[in-house]
Structure 1
Amino acid sequence: MMYRKTRIALCFALCTAGAAQAASTTELVIATVNNRQMIEMQKLTPQFEKSHPDIKLKWVTLEEGALRQRVTTDIATQGGQFDVMTIGMYETPIWGKKGWLKEFKPDAGYDVDDLLAPIRAGLSANGKLYAAPFYGESSFTMYRADLAQAVGASLPEQPTWEQIRAFAAKVHNPGKGLYGVCLRGKPGWGDNMALLSTMVNTFGGQWFDMGWKPQVDSKAWHDAISFYLDLMKKYGPPGASANSFNENLALFAEGKCGVWVDATSAGTSVADPKFSKVADKVAFAKAPIAVTPKGASWLWAWALAIPGATKKEEQAQRFINWATSRDYVQLVAKESGWIAVPTGNRASTYDRAEYQQVSRFGQMERKAILAANPDDQTLPKSPYTGVQFAAIAEFQAIGLAVGQQLGAALAGKVSVAQALKTGQTAADREMRKGGYYK
């Protein structure tokens, strides 16, 4: 009888302890994008939960456009669906100034001075850091060195868009499943417009003049977009109007693209033999230029931020400190190799001998990020900050509207002239609504 009572008492104690532990566990809901680096972070969830037993992670992983829509709606309505959001250099300073985000608070060992200066500045407002960079990027050119040798073509360290077209023409062989060039075509201010804004910049254009009047229907825009459409229709893959970063990454890694201009963060994938069939055949060059080198390569960071509506700030701060720390870089290197670590955020990563040994693109990425100037990105003077976007609240709607028109033009549904005229009208309407002019 005594034995039975003892067992019951022990069971009660264990069950009570288990219930108490469950009750003390906090679930963090994290909204993130379905890029490879974020998928890697999710795989390391057990590592975080082991070192933080009072926190459980719940992931909401979305395609880029869907993510932006969900987090924008949630933050604007103070919905409180998420405790950590993956956002970028466009949203962070705007939302930080509005008081929609909690200030990021680095812990004692974080070393905030190790963050690359342009990335840190782009995630700050009023002298406060409102998001921590998970990874940062500029843009550059990736191309098949083996194909270049086979056809007697070459690309210099600083190619022009004309040289990109000439290279694409020489290697284009759709009969064998090889397309000369892969570029973003999917509509969205952060999808096709990320690339096309840099093309407009280097062709001598801008989003707005000094009076905030949209310039979408200008000669520079016509030149840039006409060049892009001609290039893609002659040498791009079929269905390109549905392709953004991940789709083009898959095509290039499968050996189906001769040249690809996109984010420097792609380097960790295309040069990784575990992911890319052409890892040993890839060469890298700077982003292409045309009339001017200004604004030819973009500046971006996918960053982790805490929405103001969360009731779990303390736990969210701990997670972000973990996911954007030097120790996290070391963890990824241990689990997946140095080629897979997130870059574009910390200077120390580029200085590591282990990273330098496996990365043929890393120093080019760092130079591109450090050289980017969001305050002097266009040939004519512009009133806005941002390379591939304008850091004003109205830009999200404008960029989407113009991106949809240019996606339709790529799909052959409208002409360049009609697309730009419609885009100009949409931009003008938003700017008038915003009170920039009457």
Structure 2
Amino acid sequence: MKTCFTPALMASAIALSTAATAATTVTIGTVNNGDMIRMQELSNEFEQSHPDIKLDWVVLEENVLRQRLTTDIATNGGQFDVMTIGLYETGLWGERGWLTELDNLPASYDVDDIFPSVRDGLSVHGKLYALPFYGESSMTYYRKDLFEKAGLSMPEQPTWEQMREFAKTLHKPDQEQYGICLRGKAGWGENMALVTTLANAFGARWFDESWHPEFTGPEWTKAVEFYTDLLGNYGPPGASSNGFNENLALFNSGKCAMWVDATVAGSFVTDESQSKVSNDVGFALAPKEVTEKGAGWLWSWALAIPATSDSKDAAREFVTWATSKEYAGLVEQKFGITAIPPGTRLSTYRNDAYMNAAAFAKTTLESLKRANPNDPTLKPVPYSGIQLVSIPEFQSIATQVGKLISGALSGNMPVAQALKSAQSVSEREMKRAHYIK
């Protein structure tokens, strides 16, 4: 059968072909966390309203993403138009001119609605270089049903010593119930995020006021010995391989009596569609010990446009949409009000409907209020950052230290040896960068 094309049909076909040819591709590098996967699922809404823009997704595990993005931007690779980065990278990369300033945002975006601590962390000299997709501190998740059955009571902010006693009581490995789940997977943003806040609580710091590392000091020694003992005795098997996603899966399957991690997990552990324990989860502040300074971290996964992008206008359209109030409304419509990306907008926490529906919201808000990257430790320090140190060398140093501490957790080396090596690695890198002689 011969197809007959009318002039109208021909014109329509040509228009469609032209539009497809003219579409600008925006390549997005992002992390495989639940909120980002939701963003990818909802991105067809953006493409429908922006037919001239095509989104190309590169979704990676956290450590891999960081390595790929860092390599790409440092070498002017130009592979990505949108990068999912955080408070650490934004300040350093923005200062070096590697990111595109995000100015002249529409009034409806309401920049003043962003949490000041998050907005400041994504700015350089008062100018935004990334827009926050979500913000987080860390907090304690626990099984209210198991606590009640054991006659235990969780304080508003437990100490780490109390957490050990709780874990000891609730650890029943023969029933696949583990006393506590914590990050053990090596990485400066994986195990070292948790370990650094634990060390802060024990009075430790990465560097003294003259930039000398302190890993062989009594505070770090006590903190890491405590961490490896706690997780080694009362954690799940193979804990040194578990990061955020692995522990979230363990907690949601009912295998963790307690879990200390990012506040962003709140909407996932209370989601009946993915959590077997959604109705039994309690929330407390991240544990303290000799101090509560630096006990809970501060982070934001944010969307930035590298200076090497050749699709900056289209990329700006996307990052503005994905971090807007309108996007939050779309998430609420599709996934429910408790799934709104947390920790970025003040208006979210002024919304009574959200606060009443999200059992974790009050603890998230209090955790964010307490997190102070400019006063992160018991003793004075020359740096800002709670679970990180805002210097370019930190990523390399902390990656190496993370591997050593993960090795101690898995039993491959004694804690003392791991910390001695951490001290050596840190001193070498700080001397090379001329912080110390």
Q: TM-score range by the shorter chain?
A: over 0.9
Aligned residues: 435
What is the CA-CA distance between 1:248 and the residue it aligns to? 0.2
Deviations 1:352-407 (A, max 9, x none): 22212221111221121122111111111100010000000000011001000000
SS of corresponding position for 1:102: coil
Amino acid at match of 1:18: L
SS of 2:266 mapped into structure 1:
helix
Whole-angstrom distance in 1 between the partners of 2:81 and 2:348: 28
After TM superposition, give the deviation of residue 144 of structure 1 in Å.
0.4
Q: What residue in structure 2 maps to residue 204 of structure 1?
A: 203
Residue 149 of structure 1 aligns to a residue in which SS? Answer: helix
SS at 2:257's partner residue? Answer: strand
Q: Distance in 2 between matches of 1:217 and 1:128?
A: 39
- Displacement of 1:314 in angstroms is 0.7
Structure 2 partner of 1:215: 214
CA contact (8 A) 1:116 1:370 kept: no
The alpha carbon displacement at 1:10 in A equals 4.2
Does structure 1 residue 78 correspond to structure 2 residue 62? no
Asked if 1:399 is matched to 2:398, the reply is yes
Residue ranges of structure 2 left out of the alignment (5+ in a row) = none
Per-residue CA shift, 1:310-363, capped at 9, x if unaligned? 011111111111100111111000001011111000011112222122211112
Contact conserved, 1:226 with 1:416, CA < 8 A, in 2? yes
Tell me which residue corresponds to 1:224. 223
Is 1:410 paired with 2:384? no
CA distance in 1 between counterparts of 2:336 and 2:113 reads 21
Equivalent of residue 98 in structure 2, options 100, 115, 119: 100
When normalised by structure 2's length, the TM-score is: 0.98
Provide the rounded CA distance (Å) in 1 between the counterparts of 2:3 and 2:428: 78
Residue 204 of structure 1, CA deviation: 0.5
Q: 1:259 & 1:226 partners in 2: Cα distance?
A: 19
Map Cα deviations across residues 159-203 of structure 1 (whole Å, 9 max, x no partner). 000111111111111111100000000000000000000011110
Q: Deviations over 1:133-164 (max 9, x none)?
A: 10000001000000001111111001000111
Output the CA distance in 1 between the equivalents of 2:71 and 2:296.
29
The 8 Å contact of residues 117 and 370 in structure 1, kept in 2 or not, is answered as no
SS in 2 for 1:428: helix
Q: CA deviation at 1:107?
A: 1.8
- Aligned AA (1:104): L
> Which shows bigger deviation, 362-371 or 298-307?
362-371
Separation in 1, partners of 2:42, 2:295: 35
Which amino acid letter does the alignment assign opposite residue 87 of structure 2?
M
Q: For residue 14 of structure 1, report the CA deviation from its aligned partner.
A: 2.9
Q: Which moved more, 1:107-116 or 1:358-367?
A: 358-367
SS of the aligned residue for 1:355 comes to helix
Return the alpha-carbon distance in structure 2 between the equivalents of residues 62 and 176 of structure 1.
Answer: 33
* d(CA) in 2 for partners of 1:250, 1:96: 35
2 CA distance for matches of 1:174 and 1:6? 72
Structure 1 residues 186-244: Cα deviation after superposition (integer angstroms, max 9, x where no partner): 00000000000001111001001111111122110000000011101110000000000
Q: Which moved more, 1:350-359 or 1:405-414?
A: 350-359
Alignment of 1:104-253 (within 5 A): 104-105=102-103, 106-253=105-252
Matches of residues 9-408 of structure 1 in structure 2 within 5 Å?
9-105=7-103, 106-408=105-407
Distance 1:308 1:354 in 2: 40
- Asked if the contact 1:145/1:282 (under 8 Å) is kept, the reply is yes
* Distance in 2 of aligned mates of 1:10 and 1:294: 70
| Structure 2 counterpart SS, 1:284 | strand
C-alpha RMSD of matched pairs (Å): 1.3
Q: CA, structure 1 residues 249+6, in 2 after alignment: closer, same or farther (shift >3 Å)?
A: closer
Cα distance in structure 2, aligned partners of 1:255 and 1:152: 19
Aligned residues of 1:123 and 1:131 also touching (Cα < 8 A): yes
SS state at 1:27 partner:
strand
Amino acid at match of 1:46: N
Q: Give the whole-Å Cα distance in 2 for the aligned partners of 1:340 and 1:13.
A: 44
Any idea what SS the aligned residue of 1:387 has?
A: coil
CA distance in 1, matches of 2:90, 2:3: 59
What letter is aligned with 2:408? A
- Which secondary structure does the structure 2 equivalent of 1:290 belong to? coil
Q: Describe the superposition over 1:396-436 as per-residue Cα deviations: whole angstroms up to 9, x where unpaired.
A: 01100100000000110000000000011111111111111
Q: How far apart in 1 are the matches of 2:134 and 2:10?
A: 47
Structure 2: distance between partners of 1:399 and 1:384: 15
Bigger Cα displacement from structure 2, 10-19 vs 359-368: 10-19
After TM superposition, the runs of 4+ consecutive aligned structure 1 residues lying more than 2 A away are 4-16
On the 8 A contact 1:153/1:170 being kept in 2, the answer is no
Alpha-carbon distance between aligned partners in 2 of 1:24 and 1:198, rounded to the nearest angstrom: 49
Q: Is the 8 A contact 1:203 1:291 kept in 2?
A: yes
8 Å contact from structure 1 (residues 154, 167) kept in 2 = no
Amino acid at match of 2:311: K
Q: Is the 8 A contact 1:142 1:259 kept in 2?
A: yes
Q: Deviations over 1:112-138 (max 9, x none)?
A: 000001111111111111100100000
In 1, distance between residues paired with 2:198 and 2:275? 27
Q: How far apart are residue 9 of structure 1 and its match?
A: 4.1
In 1: Cα distance, 2:332 partner to 2:7 partner: 47
Partner Cα separation in structure 1 for residue 332 and residue 205 of structure 2: 40
Percentage identity across paired residues of the two chains: 53
